[in-house]
Structure 1
Amino acid sequence: MGARILSLTLYPAIDLKGGRCVRLFRGDMNAETVYNDDPADQAGKFKAAGFDWLHCVDLDGAFAGEAANADAVEAILKATDVKVQLGGGIRTMESVAKWLELGLARVILGTAAVKDPALVKEAAKAFPGQVVVGIDAHGDKVATEGWGETSEHTIEDIARRFEDAGVAAIIYTDISRDGTLTGVNVDLTADLAQKVSIPVVASGGVASLGDVTALMGTGVEGVIIGKALYDGRIDPAEAIEAAR
């Protein structure tokens, strides 16, 4: 069902915890590595490297259910003119509207996609092309509340729920691989991209340029890259060239 996509959109990740730019290991809030105390500075570096998008996650907000790193996100928006998408703790129409008014290109709804699908559909209708569904999974089961809870819903269940809702994309994260540098889950992500008409973005485990090239031509729309960029395992210029 998914379209044949021959290029990839690259989304460098800025995960926010305590106002700083961090990476977690498999979503464990106690297993963090701090990469930059100034998220706006990191955003500027990614822009200078040539990226068109930023993928931001309010990690504290994901657990709290409301924005916890708003100051850092607003600083990022002021520091760069690249497109920014944000997830973590966005669970009301008011917060969706507020963030989009502040300049976000897209908001990501994860827990709401499982627990309040009507909100996702309402938001997607009100803000066409600006609402993304985040599907984070342990195996085939979708996790919620900052990955602290696991539902009985499967990845495909949630994806199909929004097939005709007008969402801009689905971000599928394999939690078992996130922050591990063990390689992206190409097979499952590509399978999802073929089963739904919504563009699918891969996330979790990207370790090398090989992960980027492995996703090319699979129907996957884009890929989120975190630790591999921070650790220098992926050169931004090479990744951008490969993704074309």
Structure 2
Amino acid sequence: MILYPAIDLKDGKAVRLLRGDMDKATVFNDDPAAQALEFVAQGCEWLHLVDLNGAFAGEPVNAAAVEAILKQTKTPTQLGGGIRDMATIEMWLGKGLSRVILGTVAVERPELVREAARAFPGQVAVGIDAKDGRVATKGWAEVTQVDAVDLARSYEDAGVAAIIYTDINRDGAMQGPNVEATAALANAVTIPVIASGGVSSIKDLKALRDCGAPLNGAISGRALYDGAIDLKAALEALKA
């Protein structure tokens, strides 16, 4: 199981939000590229980036910070937030991004997700962010009536590389992930699933690894910044 360190970008800085609230942001590093290099130095296999401003604006906002990370590290990197048309998908993949994450458009424009997955095999993931089982869009500002598992199943034949499943109520709260819901979603589809939201200890990572579903990986942010998870120790534990 891959551990994806998260770098959430707001106003050009690496931050963490509490349950997706932009007014509850803690700045952890003024230099996101330096933060990325720190994670890489500790041995991570992937980086997970989110353009928080972009998620609300519907277009890239923290492009300069993302580009700086891509220039300074060769570690595979995935990005979500504000990617809502083919031109933006092509732009980011052309700049060296390994994988784009499509969230809002996965609900509103499924045909775009399918087109992108065909055009860029292995480089398009679907982000499913859920509150009480219902999918939220537009930077989590709008909760739809779409069921998270139903949405995941609808992409079974689309060729997407992964599903990033986030439980919004757990995100940034340091209260542990929603293992049960994550396992249920992962067992409902054949698409690789990456868990996100609430991962706050090595124990949480092991619980996800041993949840009875074949998870591709888990994303952690605040716990790495706060020191609740030592990245090197976590990587070793997941290999054991």
**TM-score normalised by L of structure 1:** 0.96
AA at the equivalent of 2:20: G
Give 1:161 deviation, angstroms. Answer: 1.0
2:93 equivalent in structure 1: 100
AA at the equivalent of 1:117: P
Give 1:215 deviation, angstroms. Answer: 1.2
AA at the equivalent of 2:114: K
2:11 equivalent in structure 1: 18
The structure 1 residue matched to 2:231, chosen from 227, 232, 236, is: 236
The structure 2 residue matched to 1:222, chosen from 217, 220, 225, is: 217
Task: Specify which structure has the bigger relative contact order, considering alpha-carbon pairs within 8 angstroms and separated by 6 or more residues.
Answer: 1
1:4 equivalent in structure 2: none
**TM-score normalised by L of structure 2:** 0.98
| C-alpha distance in 2 between matches for 1:241 and 1:185 | 23
Give 1:63 deviation, angstroms. Answer: 0.1
1:66-105 correspondence runs (5 A): 66-105=59-98
AA at the equivalent of 2:174: L
Corresponding residue SS for 2:228: coil
Give me the CA root mean square deviation: 0.6
Aligned sequence identity (%): 61
Pair 1:148-2:141 in alignment: yes
**Which segments of structure 1 move beyond 6 Å, counting only runs of 4 or more?**
none
How many corresponding residue pairs? 237
| C-alpha distance in 1 between matches for 2:95 and 2:198 | 31
Give 1:231 deviation, angstroms. Answer: 0.3
The structure 2 residue matched to 1:37, chosen from 26, 30, 37, is: 30
| C-alpha distance in 1 between matches for 2:100 and 2:14 | 19
| C-alpha distance in 2 between matches for 1:200 and 1:151 | 21
Corresponding residue SS for 2:183: helix
Corresponding residue SS for 1:91: coil
AA at the equivalent of 1:204: G
| C-alpha distance in 2 between matches for 1:108 and 1:209 | 25
Give 1:241 deviation, angstroms. Answer: 1.0
Q: Provide structure 1 residue ranges, at least 5 long, that are not aligned to the other structure.
A: 1-7
1:196 equivalent in structure 2: 189
